[in-house]
Amino acid sequence: MTKIMLQIGTLGFFVSAVFFGSQGLALMDIVTRSFIVFIAVVAGQAVLLMAMSAMKNKKYAEQDPSSAAGSGEAPEGAQQADQ
């Protein structure tokens, strides 16, 4: 997952470098602004990934605690093999 995030951040860096370069800025300004875009893209992806993970964990935590998932009991209506 981190490899994909870094690749998308690198894509953002180079696209912004082309964009800033076409504006006629100095080389140091282009690299600095592109690096800021890279950091912003990677940080944004990390925040988005954490939010999605928290929502997913919250969804599983809100399930009925008496459900069969993880309780070791058979669900209602299920027939036992011993009978």
* d(C-alpha 78, C-alpha 67), whole Å: 13
Using the 8-state DSSP alphabet, how is residue 22 labeled? Answer: H
Give mean pLDDT, residues 20-38: 96
pTM above 0.85, yes or no: no
For the chain, the domains span 2-58
Mean pLDDT of 39-66: 85
Provide, rounded to the nearest whole percent, the portion of the chain with pLDDT above 70: 75
Coil, strand or helix at 74: coil
Provide the pLDDT confidence category of residue 48 given band limits of 50, 70 and 90: very high
Q: Residue 44: pLDDT band by 50, 70, 90 thresholds?
A: very high
